[in-house]
A = this chain, B = another copy of it.
Amino acid sequence: MRSKLFVPCSRPEFFAKALAGDADALSFDLEDAVPEAGKPAARARLAEVLRSDAVKQSGKHLIVRVNGLDTQHFAADIACLNGGRVDLVNLPKVSSAAIARKGADAIEGAWPDPANRPGLLVNIETPAAVRQAGDIATAHPAVAGLQIGLNDLFETLGIDRRDPRHVHAALWQTRLGAGEAGRFAYDGAWPDLGDAEGFRAEAELARSLGYLGKSCIHPRQVSIANAVFDRGAELAQAHRLVTAAHGAAAIGHGAFVFEGRMVDAPAVARARDLLRLYGERA
């Protein structure tokens, strides 16, 4: 899930192109991209798409951003997903573990069968959520990951979205929060469509913090995300490290020098995790 393309449900003319594109995941939006009056029509369109053969047979991860739990739209948003294919429900404005639990309970209620129940992708986009990201990530087993929402967070507080120091601080806290529960962290959107370098720099920052991928609001951002979050080199190195660890263990050393740096058990465990996560033999 290196890239995740934003698809406003108010713009059905984008659907086919998004499905045919290179994004690893699509994120259909029922929230901010859809004005109040357009919500019912957007839901109807989305329900149809999620039930279509094109979507059901797609190799893409399918995500739906619903309206917040405190809105009148949430229940209808969830209801419209039933019978369609959805991998993750993306819940905005989750400011506390209690709200995350409420969201997870609603999903369990709507999908009684765990086999086809979507996971919960929680948006961290308020100051309280940033501070309590660890509590939110551990709130419920259905929480699959945390997604940082910098635009909402920064706009509300008057924080400069273009200052990478501020971006770093928010990404750091959210990554560590996700890590408390072994959940993944996912990077949010870069608002300036014309600034590919800004997008790439933010993606590289997220990658270096262990984020899984980055949200894209335009198809031309997708190839950058796919390149930045590619894990080929990392997996090759993990293979070499596991091999070296076998050699060191054979002569009784738990810590050893690998490609110029001292490594020990946690590094080997991380390498094995990576190979397992990405389906290669460890």
Q: Is A118 an interface residue (CB 8 A)?
A: no
Q: State whether A209 touches B159 (Cβ < 8 A).
A: yes
Q: Mark A86-122, 1 if CB is under 8 A from B, else 0.
A: 0000000000000000000000000000000000000
Q: Which of A229-282 contact B (CB under 8 A)?
A: 249, 252-255, 257, 260-267, 269-270, 274
Contact check: which of B35, B210, B217 meets A159 at CB < 8 Å? Answer: B210
Q: Which of A109-141 contact B (CB under 8 A)?
A: 126-128, 130-131, 134
Q: State whether B134 touches A208 (Cβ < 8 A).
A: no
Q: Is A20 an interface residue (CB 8 A)?
A: no
Q: Given A180-B131, A254-B33: A262 and B217 within 8 A (CB)?
A: yes
User: A37–B251 Cα gap in the complex (Å)?
Assistant: 11
| Segment among A43-51, A54-62, A76-84, A168-176 that sits at the interface with chain B | A168-176
**A263 and chain B: residue at smallest CB distance:** B191
**A175 and chain B: residue at smallest CB distance:** B157
Counting chain A residues whose Cβ lies within 8 A of the other chain, the interface size class is: 35 or more
Q: Is A18 an interface residue (CB 8 A)?
A: no
A128 — which chain B residues lie within 8 A by C-beta?
A: 134, 180
Q: Given A172-B169, A260-B194, A261-B191: A32 and B266 within 8 A (CB)?
A: yes
Contact check: which of B32, B176, B261 meets A130 at CB < 8 Å? Answer: B176
Q: Given A166-B209, A264-B151: A255 and B32 within 8 A (CB)?
A: yes
Q: Is A10 an interface residue (CB 8 A)?
A: yes
A262 — which chain B residues lie within 8 A by C-beta?
A: 189, 191-193, 217
- Smallest beta-carbon distance A255→chain B, Å: 4
16 additional A-B residue pairs with CB within 8 Å, beyond A192-B260, A192-B262, A195-B260 = A8-B255, A33-B255, A33-B264, A128-B134, A131-B176, A131-B180, A151-B264, A155-B270, A156-B266, A156-B270, A163-B208, A168-B169, A189-B262, A193-B261, A193-B262, A217-B262
